Amino acid sequence: MKMFGKRPDPAVAARLALLGGELLAARCDGVAPPAGMAVLIVGADGRTRRATGATVMPGKGEAAWCWHPGPYAIEVAPFAAAPEAGLRIECVIVADDASREQHRFELFLSSEVTAGTHAVPLPAFAALLQGALRGALEGGTLELPPCTAVDEWHAFRAGVNELLYTRFGLIVTDCLPVDLGETVDFAALLRARALSQVALVVAEPEVVSPAAPAPVAQPDDAAALRRLFLELPALAARLRGLPLPDGAFAAHRDLLQRLALVSVQVDTMPSLALAAPGQALHAAGQHLRTSSSIAAVAALDEGWRVLAAMRGSGFAALGDELDRIVANLECHVAARRADPRDRPERREPT
């Protein structure tokens, strides 16, 4: 007797076969995930739940993801000005029990992986990891001085561990310096820098170094707002769990209240395309709003980096830095909510 039914998509099976190597995570809608892998159902609103059973059948508007815990070996260039000086980071993805609260990698899948994406390639993830390390070094929450002493290296390694756990839910098993000189095309790097100087005069785009493991696409307004909507409460929850020194309660409470207000503003954000109900917003105004939401996400990423450093140094050491970051979030979110018609001096020609 011939059985009728929907056959599993061969492309899905092909992606699942690459897990643990070229891919960290992949969609597994309607198929049986590989044995031993966690499965996460992500709703359109960002809510997540673990799935069990032989075949994963997500509901309407949901996506099923599974991921391989690793180990993974990722080579990055922590300094943009020295692309030959690399780090080899060996890590695994945290595998929390399903009964526990949402861990960081699940939040990454729900907030940073867009709806049209079907897999998380290792090179693209390595670019995000490299960006987090570069941001921490540029911001001073990590330090890797020239001719690093043993004690300085151990402090840097501990900071890397905390950063990648807080930002991505990774556990670093090893971190070693490597020479990437043979893999860097210095001629292409110089050409890109020369072109970037010309481009900055015209459009001021973000320039991705050829030394990066893979280019990272600039998020659009919707993707930026999704990250703010989902990650701000998580950031506040992590901040709430920090141990406090004597006399820090008031400052801690103030930061949490301000983050809560920013979250409310994100939750009630006006549409990108509307200046007012029934009134379309011109392209220049939409560009200003998008720039503001992307700037808010940059402040959010900086918040994760500072929070990671706080787990090692405590609230008192970096409370002022977090205050500055929350002020930036307030500024950028307010700019995203504002009517661009109230800022004619910043309008671009249409």
Return the pLDDT at 149: 86
Q: Which residue, 167, 336, 333, 166, is CA-closest to 258?
A: 333
CB count, 10 Å around CB of 325? Answer: 25
Hunting for tokens 């390694």 — which residue is that?
157
**Cα gap 193→33, rounded to integer Å:** 44
Hunting for tokens 């029934």 — which residue is that?
278
Query: pLDDT: is 102 or 322 the higher one?
Result: 322
Return the pLDDT at 80: 84
The mean-pLDDT minimum among 40-54, 87-101, 158-172 falls in: 87-101
Each residue's pLDDT tens digit, 283-315: 888 899 999 999 999 999 999 999 999 887 777
Q: Which helix (H) or strand (E) holds 262?
A: helix 249-267
**Cα gap 67→341, rounded to integer Å:** 45
Is the pLDDT reported for residue 11 higher than 80? no
Q: Quickly state the pLDDT bin for 102 (edges 50, 70, 90).
A: low
Return the pLDDT at 207: 35
Is the pLDDT reported for residue 57 higher than 80? no
Hunting for tokens 């993805």 — which residue is that?
93
Percent share of the chain, pLDDT over 70: 81
Do 168 and 105 contact (CB within 8 A), yes or no?
yes
Query: pLDDT: is 323 or 344 the higher one?
Result: 323
Q: Quickly state the pLDDT bin for 196 (edges 50, 70, 90).
A: low
The DSSP code for 149 is -
Is the pLDDT reported for residue 193 higher than 90? no
CB count, 10 Å around CB of 54? Answer: 7
Q: Quickly state the pLDDT bin for 347 (edges 50, 70, 90).
A: very low
Q: Which residue, 210, 213, 189, is CA-closest to 127?
A: 213
Return the pLDDT at 202: 44
Show Cβ contacts of residue 29 under 8 Å, excluding neighbours closer than 6 positions. 12, 56, 57, 58, 63, 64
Is the pLDDT reported for residue 211 higher than 50? no
Strands (E), the chain: 23-27, 38-42, 48-50, 63-67, 72-76, 85-93, 119-121, 170-179, 274-276, 279-280
**Global model pTM greater than 0.75:** yes
Q: How far is CA 20 from CA 36, 42, 114, in A?
A: 12, 21, 21
Is the pLDDT reported for residue 203 higher than 50? no
pLDDT mean across residues, the chain: 82
Cα torsion angle, 111, 112, 115, 117, sign: negative
Each residue's pLDDT tens digit, 225-254: 999 999 999 999 999 888 888 778 888 899
**Cα gap 243→312, rounded to integer Å:** 11
Q: Quickly state the pLDDT bin for 262 (edges 50, 70, 90).
A: very high
Is the pLDDT reported for residue 350 higher than 80? no
- Average pLDDT of the residues in 249-267: 93
Return the pLDDT at 224: 94
**Cα gap 64→16, rounded to integer Å:** 12
Furthest CA-CA distance within the chain:
76
- Average pLDDT of the residues in 260-272: 93
For 187, the token pair is 């001629």
Is the pLDDT reported for residue 221 higher than 60? yes
Do 171 and 91 contact (CB within 8 A), yes or no?
yes
- Average pLDDT of the residues in 15-39: 84
Is the pLDDT reported for residue 326 higher than 50? yes
Q: Quickly state the pLDDT bin for 101 (edges 50, 70, 90).
A: low
Angle subtended at Cα 17 by Cα 15 and Cα 18, rounded to the nearest 5 degrees: 70
Each residue's pLDDT tens digit, 146-175: 888 888 999 999 999 999 999 999 999 999
Return the pLDDT at 188: 72
Helix (H, G, I), strand (E, B) or coil at 338: coil
Is the pLDDT reported for residue 4 higher than 50? no
Percent share of the chain, pLDDT over 90: 40
Q: Which residue, 295, 298, 284, 264, is CA-closest to 339?
A: 284
Return the pLDDT at 82: 81
**Cα gap 220→310, rounded to integer Å:** 30
